[in-house]
Structure 1
Amino acid sequence: MRLKEETEYEEEKREESMVVQKYSIGGGLPQPTKAVVVGYALTSKKKKSFLQPKLEFLARNKGILFVAIDPNRPLSEQGPFDIVLHKLSGKEWRQILEDYRKTHPEVTVLDPPDAIQHVYNRQFMLQDVADLNLSDAYGTVGVPRQLVIKKDPSSIPDDVNRAGLKLPLVAKPLVVDGSAKSHELSLAYDQYSLQILEPPLVVQEFVNHGGVLFKVYIVGEAIKVVRRFSLPDVSKRELSTNAGVFRFPRVSCAAASADDADLDPGVAELPPRPLLERLARELRRRLGLRLFNLDMIREHGTRDRYYVIDINYFPGYGKMPGYEHIFTDFLLGLVQSKHKKRVAKPVEEPV
């Protein structure tokens, strides 16, 4: 396995060595005078979905070079990098990154490992949204009521009753580890059926939302919203006549786009831009992340009551329209911002 990884790494390095850098003239952000080197440490699945040819082509034209990081070699011996882009798991890798951030403050690491860990646990993932309690003229943003079950599934019915959660209930794995299973969900029509599930998990009140979910992609200060089909509404009649737990795959990821569907305007209308900008700005600050997305729903029958039901770090940007332009501009902006800070730093005069 290690030999295969080393072979893939060497092939990537050969490809990068043959890259002929091109520079575009005029338009967009000012082009760098030298290549912006972005080291990436991604799973093979993430590399395939993110580093698409259209992104790499545009990046080269803008003077950005993506270079594979070999996780089996010391990070400090590789590079030099302007930016490190990563989505690998494991305590050892997190420690390598933290050490690298301390010894190479001139390099931007996207994003800090400790901040990422915060959104890998559904017990804490939505806490910053709840604490924000956003409410203004454009609407309110909250989170569904939820309960964490860490052990003993037989206690779920009593725990749900004590918490006063309303049926139906959505059950999700507590930890998001990047696997398909960690993004599965189950819909329970009665709390007793939840006993068949395996803790640790989070039980969340299901909010009817017209079967449409808004994926709010955030790349630095840029925001892009797309519609996806989601779980259909549950009527009172269905709730009274059905029982049991129904399992679903990763709904928001596998679902087809709803952007071109013939939907009721009250369901299809995107959340107001000012509301999203304020929400994104606050969460960037509170979470300490620049690359994430929100799974957001509007309560069916309302125009301005929204709920965030999930937060994902470094999501599938390859499915975001125009992602290659947004992402390359973001990378160039990071480097330029860092350069301006260095230039603006006062120089001490010799005594």
Structure 2
Amino acid sequence: MRLNGEISHKEDEEDEEEKQSGVLQPERLVVGYALTSKKKKSFLQPKLEILARNKGISFVAIDQNRPLSDQGPFDVVLHKLSGMEWCKIIEDYRQKHPEVTILDPPDAIKHLHNRQSMLQDVADLNLSDCNGKVRVPRQMVITKDSLSIPDQVFEAGLKLPLVAKPLVVDGSAKSHELFLAYDRFSLSELEPPMLLQEFVNHGGVLFKIYIIGETIKVVRRFSLPNVSKRELAKVVSVFRFPRVSSAAASADDADLDPGIAELPPRPLLERLARELRHRLGLRLFNIDMIREHGMRDVFYVIDINYFPVSQLSSVEIMLAAVCG
């Protein structure tokens, strides 16, 4: 398959060798990608490119200065760009080329840009017959007027401590800021719009569940420690935390209490993944899940992220997405 875009000389030489040998090779799967420079650096690592080449997959950069329909042909378009203009380009291309797999439709991705709406699909699920229960923390949205936050929290009946997160998820460092509030009056120090979630003690371990097509991979990450009633009575403040659950905070090799480290039941994860793929219309995302401390089968989904490739511990997972 001849392409417009970045193709290495080595691939051209391989194609020529195939022609001369007279041996028919499987047709390549062509993945066009449009990514930010940061995402491209974390995604297109040498190990992935080598593994992809061995599986007959070619990654081709999309030229954003040329019409998308003039490029390709592509089997898959992988993208993580923002802006109304790009969304319009992708949606127009999807309508004209239904044979191409788009990872993922802009309208579906947009659903995860707002923390108020992203967990609603989880709250609506009934997974009681899957070896466990999945819930979402009680939460509320604050859109304005910092000084009124203590009263709003009191009226809503939310229990302390509270986790405060930016309402909008736009990929920036600010959208991943995290605060833990021990008393409601200190909440007036925060800057709306934001989401407030009741903090659930979970033994300081979070499960990142990567859902890539029909493939599921789970890794453990260190998270915020439990908060005792004694601490809650003594501390009067709001604390800002650096980004938790990053790849650098891996807990997979740590010596943990089995009751904390045990992964969520596979049937539960498979059902959850299947339901969310259908409801969200996405094939490339991850779920942040915690187990309520002292409860073996009670889990909470606290966040959903799109295209978390930079934190994947295995490039084979990415290949499952483009091949699936």
- Which residue matches 1:320? 312
- Which residue matches 2:20? none
- Which residue matches 1:20? 11
Instruction: Summarize deviations over 1:51-102 as a string: whole Å, max 9, x none.
Output: 1101111111111100011222211111111110000111111111111111
- Which residue matches 2:199? 206
Letter in 2 for 1:131: D
Letter in 2 for 1:305: V
Letter in 2 for 1:331: V
- Which residue matches 1:33? 26
Instruction: Summarize deviations over 1:160-202 as a string: whole Å, max 9, x none.
Output: 1111100000000000000111011100001111111111100
When residues 137 and 288 of structure 1 are mapped into structure 2, their CA distance, relative to the original with a 3 A threshold, is closer
- Which residue matches 2:233? 240
Secondary structure of 2:255's aligned partner: coil
- Structure 1 residue 123 displacement after superposition: 0.8
- Structure 1 residue 137 displacement after superposition: 4.9
Mapped to 1, the partners of 2:294 and 2:225 lie a distance apart of: 14
- Which residue matches 1:332? 323
Q: Does 1:161 align with 2:154?
A: yes
- Which residue matches 1:126? 119
Secondary structure of 2:78's aligned partner: strand
Q: Does 1:261 align with 2:254?
A: yes
Structure 2: runs of 5 or more not aligned:
16-23
- Structure 1 residue 320 displacement after superposition: 2.8
TM-score relative to the length of structure 2:
0.92
Mapped to 2, the partners of 1:97 and 1:60 lie a distance apart of: 26
User: Is the Cα contact below 8 Å between 2:5 and 2:62 reproduced in 1?
Assistant: no
User: Is the Cα contact below 8 Å between 1:230 and 1:255 reproduced in 2?
Assistant: no
Letter in 2 for 1:124: S
User: Is the Cα contact below 8 Å between 2:215 and 2:320 reproduced in 1?
Assistant: no
Instruction: Summarize deviations over 1:199-244 as a string: whole Å, max 9, x none.
Output: 1100000000000000000110100000000000000000000011
- Which residue matches 2:223? 230
Secondary structure of 2:144's aligned partner: coil
User: Is the Cα contact below 8 Å between 2:130 and 2:271 reproduced in 1?
Assistant: no
- Structure 1 residue 50 displacement after superposition: 1.1
Mapped to 1, the partners of 2:221 and 2:275 lie a distance apart of: 24
User: Is the Cα contact below 8 Å between 1:184 and 1:251 reproduced in 2?
Assistant: no
Higher mean alpha-carbon deviation, 130-139 vs 187-196, is at 130-139
Letter in 2 for 1:65: S
User: Is the Cα contact below 8 Å between 1:189 and 1:244 reproduced in 2?
Assistant: yes
Q: Does 1:283 align with 2:276?
A: yes
Secondary structure of 1:118's aligned partner: helix
Mapped to 2, the partners of 1:136 and 1:172 lie a distance apart of: 32
User: Is the Cα contact below 8 Å between 1:224 and 1:320 reproduced in 2?
Assistant: no
Instruction: Summarize deviations over 1:237-258 as a string: whole Å, max 9, x none.
Output: 0000001100012211265110
**Quick one: percent identity of the two aligned structures?**
74
- Which residue matches 1:215? 208
Mapped to 2, the partners of 1:277 and 1:305 lie a distance apart of: 16
Instruction: Summarize deviations over 1:102-125 as a string: whole Å, max 9, x none.
Output: 111111110010000001100101
Secondary structure of 2:171's aligned partner: coil
When residues 133 and 155 of structure 1 are mapped into structure 2, their CA distance, relative to the original with a 3 A threshold, is farther
When residues 320 and 254 of structure 1 are mapped into structure 2, their CA distance, relative to the original with a 3 A threshold, is closer
User: Is the Cα contact below 8 Å between 1:190 and 1:243 reproduced in 2?
Assistant: yes
Secondary structure of 2:74's aligned partner: coil
Cα RMSD over matched residues?
Answer: 1.8
Secondary structure of 2:272's aligned partner: helix
Letter in 2 for 1:314: F
- Which residue matches 1:144? 137
Count of residues in Structure 1 that have an aligned counterpart in Structure 2? 312
TM-score relative to the length of structure 1:
0.85
